[in-house]
Amino acid sequence: MADDPLDLSGRAVIVTGGTKGVGRGIAERFRVAGAWVVVCARHEPEASLPDHMSFVAADVRDPDDAERVVATCVERHGRLDVLVNNAGGSPPADSATVSPKFSAAIITLNLVAPLVMAQRANAVMQAQTDGGSIVNIASVSGRRPSPNSAAYGAAKAGLLNLTQTLAVEWAPKVRVNAVTAGMVRTEQSHLYYGDEAGIAAVGATVPLGRLAEPEDIGDVCLFLASPLASYVSGAEIVVHGGGEKPSYLDAANTGDQAT
């Protein structure tokens, strides 16, 4: 029987923002695949981490912290095979009144920090015989209008361009790809969608009938980091369950006719 291409035993992976939410789901997928996983975040995880997973306290917006996370991974495991730039996000903010300081902070977290982390990871991967893989977690907010999160949407759009650029510059040793995530059910879903009924109602608007689970995003990251994607670089995989139904369909008075 052929070796399992999704078995990453002995590989070392960094997942930024990997202690909860989408990042934890990604980290868990790599851990189950046999990899050593280093997760980083500003705050300690609320529960103890399982075997093959370790934590580094870091703020990825700080270049020195980014350097320390990569160095710690190499120190612990002797190598770095995969970086998943997951840390990011933004609270809502009115585009007409948001402060320049706020916008700069959001762009730093969602665009500049992934670049710096990628630079540090690339320096290690280029020196390895088999190179490495970088996966940037983007958002549908970077592909469509993003009301009340203008800086976030713009930063995520920039992350897609950054992905393509680095894929060209750092080939052939390092592959760089992006996963564009849609709505994902996490510990904070109730803040955006309300109670279980509200979460289910929002999920029902997705063609596949539900919100993504963090592990759904993790599955695609695992594929992109695996030998199955050995000829995939500079690519964007959109993971949004089919997207959003065009709003005009609710307003149109055409019965069941196609438009």
Q: What is the pLDDT of residues 110-145, one digit of tens each?
A: 999 999 999 999 999 999 999 999 999 999 999 999
pLDDT tens-digit map of 223-255 = 999 999 999 999 999 999 999 888 787 788 765
Reduce the DSSP state of residue 80 to 3 states and report it.
coil
pLDDT over 90, % of the chain = 81
Task: Tell me what pLDDT residue 28 has.
Answer: 97
| Known catalytic membership, residue 192 | no
Task: Tell me what pLDDT residue 3 has.
Answer: 87
Can you tell me the distance from the alpha carbon of 87 to that of 104, in angstroms, rounded to the nearest whole number? 16
| Active-site residue, from 152, 193, 231, 248 | 152
Can you tell me the distance from the alpha carbon of 259 to that of 257, in angstroms, rounded to the nearest whole number? 6
Question: Parallel, antiparallel, or unpaired for β 132-139 and 82-85?
Answer: parallel
Read off the pLDDT of each residue in 144-160 and give the average, rounded to a whole number: 96
**Three-class DSSP labels, 192-236:** HHCCHHHHHHHHHCCCCCCCECHHHHHHHHHHHHCHHHCCCCCCE
Mean pLDDT across the chain: 93
Band of the pLDDT at 1, cuts 50, 70, 90?
Answer: very low
pLDDT over 70, % of the chain = 95
